A and B are shown apart, each in its own frame.
Chain A
Amino acid sequence: MAGHNESILREPLITGENITYSQITEDILAPVENKPNKAWWIGFSIAVFFALVWVVTISYTFWVGLGSWGLNKTVGWAWDITGFVWWVGIGHAGTLISAVLLLFRQNWRNSINRSAEAMTIFAVICAATYIFAHMGRPWLAYWVFPLPNQFGSLWVNFNSPLVWDVFAISTYFSVSLVFWYTGLLPDIATIRDRATGVRRRVYSILSFGWAGSVKNWQRFEAVSLILAGVSTPLVLSVHTIVSFDFATSLEPGWHTTIFPPYFVAGAIFSGFAMVQTLLLIARKVMKWENYITMFHIESMNKIITVTGSIVGVAYLTELFIAWYSGVEYEQYAFLNRISGPYWWAYWSMMTCNVISPQLFWFKKIRTSIWASWLLSIVVNIGMWFERFVIIVTSLHRDYIPSSWVMFYPSAVDVLLFVGSIGVFFTLFLLFLRVLPGIAMAEVKLILKSASDQSKQKLIREGKVKPEQAEEYLQSLEKYDSVDYLKV
């Protein structure tokens, strides 16, 4: 209940003086209800430019076919599947934040879940574009579904992990969309009730008639909890199945049982890095420092360190098992990764993913906005290299030396990837303009228990032990949003 006081030892999740419920609404809806500022327009123009690059290159790909990519007979999957797995991985943090952290009652998720879920949806859209594109004939994409067809009923092969992937990715996208939109209903109703004219009409349609009555909220809470419960195994299953695409093949370097947990940890790792990249900018531009605080940044950095370490252990395990298996093909695949022609990709991956997140053990780095932002970009680059290393270095030299080749991306490959980042940012920036980027109702829920002002009040009223109050005040030093205490 709102009247319950939280332990003083917990760091605040909302800072700022005199934050009221209406203040939260004002702050969070400011970008939605006002004209966008210059920073938004600059970002949006750049994003749209790259999105147009994507439109041109994907049209070119569809027009001339997959010959425009750098693929060859030996390396049939390269840049495209790298991009696909990278985007799907990024998509995982949103569901993790909204579902897993909800089940674990981590209240700090309340102010980052909405934008992380939006990020999930846009990342999965980008991933889906790669699936369509790599089919070569995208107008026949419906062939992946088990539909009766005119060749007699020759069904899809349900023993194939690629068909599992079709079901996994489409379920993941659909369920994330539901989770996100159901969560948005109360916040859309807030915009509706403050708007006038056409805006009111549009948000009224979008709000589905939300009124905020007791029964509305009761059912809403039930739905959120169950959706979180089913999304948790879902999010783990999706990247597991993506890893099956590789693990169930007989390709040295792919055929390993460690892939499912290793891919899932990598996905969470890269997803949190992307959330960090986006939110560190968003909180500054949207002036949300009071809601996305240093505690949130630090917590995400801790998750990045944990998952980064899991990924590091997985890399080393892979190397050990390759040696220990005694299979020369397997051993060569890994020797080739480390010291073959793609050594630079392997060592970029190792540096970015294994070494750089360990820097977060230092509190100074973990609580520095600049360092967090830069390292989040480094992690994103590293995770891209991870997929490139797994896919290309395993394929380019397989069993028969006569078919060994190198893969070089074509300009279309590169522009398609850069363009997909543009598509992602275009969608994300539009989202920030039309829908609240922070779940208002959920932030309001923790205002009375987890805000700095309520804790300061407890201290002023002498309801806590002085040594604990002292410890609490010390923990505020890292916050960049509590200047009002320092004067």
Chain B
Amino acid sequence: MSNTKYILGHFEDPDDMMHGIEKLQENNVKIYDVYTPMPIHGIEDKLGYKRSRLPIAAFCFGITGTLVGFSMIYYMLVYDWPMNIGGKPPFAMPDFVPICFELTILFASYGMMFTFFYANHFFPGRAPRVMDLRATNDRFIIAIDAQANPYPDKINSLLNEAGAIEILHNERKYVSYE
């Protein structure tokens, strides 16, 4: 067995790449991941990724924001220090609306963003797990785990048939960033 860890099929065109994914799947080659410089619509279905649950998280954070806003104003304005402003009742609900709304948006956006960072393991200074430097520029790259699929020649020919312009057999997983 060779030392190849990952086989990378470079495509110049996203449609060719989708075609390549189909080819590989028809032949029961498991795809490790796909790296692209832009979002490819429909690729999640093809690779069997589940729908992201981030919108649910955003909703929960948003509701939290509404409740935080409402209870904060209620506590401060009605419970802790009710003020007589022009003889009007301290529990003036319509006046609560703008701030509750703003806090809903604030919590939803920040909550969702931090969930997004957490789920993708993003944080400032994280060493990028990049397999090929051109994946963020102009290449659409299918990565195949060579150890799990030990038939490199067949993979080569499948990728070539689909229109890959370059096929790399890498001995290390990520491009090093030292």
Chain A positions within 8 Å of B, measured between CB atoms, are: 1-3, 20-22, 25, 146, 152-159, 161, 163-164, 167-168, 171, 174-175, 178-179, 182, 185-186, 189-190, 192-194, 200, 204-223, 225-227, 230-231, 233-234, 237, 241, 244, 440-442, 444-445, 448
Cα distance A152–B85 when bound, in Å? 19
Residues in B whose Cβ lies below 8 Å from that of A182: 113, 116
* CB-nearest residue of chain B to A169: B102
Chain A hits for B127, CB < 8 A: 204, 209
B83 touches A209 (CB 8 A): no
> Is B6 part of the contact surface with A, judged by Cβ < 8 Å?
no
Q: Residues of A contacting B125 with CB < 8 Å? A: 204-205
Q: A193-B133, A219-B119 are in contact. Are A214 and B43 (CB under 8 A)?
A: yes
Identify the closest chain B residue to A185 (Cβ): B122
CB distance from B41 to the nearest CB of A (A): 5
Contact A219/B116 with A209-B127, A230-B108, A445-B39 known, Cβ cut-off 8 Å? yes
- Name the A residues within 8 Å of B14 (CB-CB): 1-3, 448
Interfacial chain A residues near B77, Cβ < 8 Å: 155, 158-159
CA of A218 to CA of B135, assembled, Å: 16
- Interface size in chain B (residues, C-beta < 8 A): 70
B134 to chain A, nearest CB (A): 7
CB-defined contacts of B130 to chain A, threshold 8 Å:
189, 193, 211
Q: What is the bound-complex CA distance between A157 and B37, given in angstroms?
A: 49
CA distance A209 to B126 in the complex (A): 5
Q: B168: CB under 8 A from chain A?
A: no
Q: Does B128 contact A (CB under 8 A)?
A: yes
Could you pull out 19 A-B pairs where Cβ atoms are within 8 angstroms? A1-B14, A2-B14, A20-B138, A21-B37, A158-B95, A168-B102, A171-B102, A174-B109, A175-B106, A193-B136, A209-B127, A211-B130, A216-B120, A217-B38, A217-B40, A219-B54, A233-B105, A241-B98, A448-B14
B60-104 residues at the A interface, CB under 8 angstroms: 62, 72-73, 76-77, 80-81, 83, 85, 88, 92, 95-96, 98-99, 101-103
Q: Is the CB of A218 within 8 A of B38?
A: no
Supplied contacts A226-B108, A448-B15, 14 more A-B pairs, CB within 8 Å: A3-B15, A22-B138, A146-B76, A155-B77, A158-B99, A171-B102, A209-B123, A209-B126, A209-B129, A210-B128, A211-B129, A218-B44, A441-B37, A442-B38
**Is the beta-carbon distance between A209 and B121 smaller than 8 angstroms?**
yes
Q: CB-CB contacts of B135-161 with A at 8 A, as 1s and 0s?
A: 111100000000000000000000000
Contact A219 B137 (CB under 8 A): no
* A207 and B37 within 8 A (CB): no
**CA A175 to CA B136, docked complex, whole Å:** 26
Residues of the B chain whose Cβ atoms lie less than 8 Å from the Cβ of A208? 117, 122-124, 126
Interface string of B1-23 (1 = CB under 8 A from A): 00000000000111100100000
Q: Which residues of B contact A444 (CB under 8 A)?
A: 37-38
A216 CA to B136 CA, complexed, in Å: 12
Interface positions of B (Cβ within 8 A of A): 12-15, 18, 33-44, 47, 49, 52, 54-55, 58, 62, 72-73, 76-77, 80-81, 83, 85, 88, 92, 95-96, 98-99, 101-103, 105-106, 108-110, 112-113, 116-117, 119-131, 133-138, 177
**Are the C-beta atoms of B35 and A211 separated by less than 8 Å?**
yes
Asked if A227 meets B76 with Cβ closer than 8 Å, knowing A212-B136, A213-B35, the reply is no
In the bound complex, residues from chain B placing their C-beta under 8 Å from that of A214 are 33-34, 36, 40, 43-44, 47, 49
- Chain A residues within 8 Å of B81, by CB: 152-155
Which residues of chain B have C-beta atoms less than 8 A from A441's C-beta?
Answer: 37-39
Are A223 and B47 in contact, CB atoms less than 8 angstroms apart? no
Interface pair B112/A226, CB less than 8 Å apart: yes
Question: What are the 7 A-B residue pairs with the smallest beta carbon separation, nearest first?
Answer: A209-B126, A21-B138, A22-B138, A208-B122, A155-B76, A164-B98, A3-B15
Q: Are B137 and A209 in contact (CB under 8 A)?
A: no
| Contact of B106 with A171 in the complex, beta carbons under 8 Å | yes
Q: Within the assembled complex, what's the spacing in Å between the Cα atoms of A20 and B121? A: 31
Q: Give complex CA distance A244, B132 in Å.
A: 53
A25 in complex: contacting residue of B99, B124, B137, CB < 8 Å: B137
Q: Which residue of chain A has its CB nearest to the CB of B113?
A: A178
Partner of A217, one of B36, B126, B131: B36
Task: Tell me if B52 and A222 are in contact (CB < 8 A).
Answer: yes
Contacts of B101 in A (CB 8 A): 233, 237
